[in-house]
Amino acid sequence: MKLRLIRVALAAMTACVLLPGFSSALISGAPPKDHLSGSLSEMLEHALSSNPQVLLAKAKLLQVEAELKDVRLRVTQEVLEAFNDRKRKRREMETVVRRLDRTQALVDKGNMPQGELYDLQLQIANAEADIANVEGRLRYLVGAELILRNEKKTTAKTDVNSANRSRPQGRPSVPQKFQAALTSKVTAIFDDMPLDKVASFFQNATGVSFTLATVPIENEYGEIDGIRMGLSLQDTELKGALLAITDLYDLVFVFRDYGILVTTHSHAYSLDGATIPSSVTLAGTTAGGGSR
């Protein structure tokens, strides 16, 4: 901080030396020109170019512009590195996939042990995890996460039902038979995976039935089963994983007798039962949770 102030002061002093009339006065030995005798327009022109506060502000502006250039250069380098890193990792994974196909054919013919397949499958899983990490870094670098967060905030403000969704409306608690599943830990990486595959993964991991509602959804996918997810979970409770999905994709999980229904806010509004998130409004109730 002290070094920065010194730089600003030196820049201001340099600007003062270069003032019209001041530098010529130093060279000639004559006193600086008296600008008080000029017209108002001349005084204003001189003040806006030579006032010490203006000079200091200009010096600070130059410093900020230099810092901005440095940041832009650094971000450019980081994006290039991450982009090329992703490209390289994708090529490596494609090579392993081709090896897996060839190995699978040899294993089927009995010419190679099954263990070779497991090693290659593990390499592919690790490569997919590496690519997901690089893409997460790219999303941060290009500001995609911030844009998505702002879009969600804007959507929430313009949604006529957002006020009702902000508090629970007479929902029952989660049935006891689901409690153990909600606290079970899951680890997975979903890289552009269809929602039905994600639901199948949770079902196999917890033993709870997941069902996708056949209702239209107002987003770029057009319907629920068209959603493709990108999400990384590391030893996360199922409840936390479902909350992350609701945050990212504006879905609702409704607890029914037959299992968990994956649906939209507008559809869940008319369904009795506990939900994730718990703030989803239930039709026919008031803000206090009672019946109308």
- Match 């670098």 to its residue by tokens: 141
CA distance 265 to 246: 10
pLDDT band at 68, cuts 50/70/90? very high
Long-range residue pairs from 156-160, CB within 8 A, at least 24 positions apart, any chain: none
Over residues 199-208, the pLDDT tens digits come to 888 888 888 8
| Position 13 confidence tier, pLDDT thresholds 50, 70, 90 | low
pLDDT the model gives residue 12:
53
Structure tokens belonging to residue 239: 């409840």
| 252 beta partners | 263
| Spatial separation of the C-alpha atoms in residues 242 and 274, rounded to whole Å | 13
Is a pLDDT exceeding 90 seen at residue 38?
Answer: no
Distance of alpha carbon 228 from alpha carbon 193, whole angstroms: 5
The span from the CA of 90 to the CA of 94, in Å, is 6
**Angle (CA) 167 172 174, round 5°:** 105
CA within 13 Å, CB half, 144? 10
- Tell me the DSSP string of 206-232: H---EEE---B-SSTTSBGGG-EEEEE
Question: According to the model, what pLDDT value does residue 4 have?
Answer: 58
Lowest mean per-residue pLDDT among 12-21, 70-79, 230-239: 12-21
Which pair of tokens denotes residue 30? 């004559």
DSSP-derived letter for residue 289 is S
What digits encode the pLDDT tens for the residues 97-126?
A: 888 888 888 888 888 787 777 888 888 888
Band of residue 19 on the pLDDT scale cut at 50, 70, 90: very low
Task: Please give the Cα distance from 112 to 37 (Å, whole number).
Answer: 99
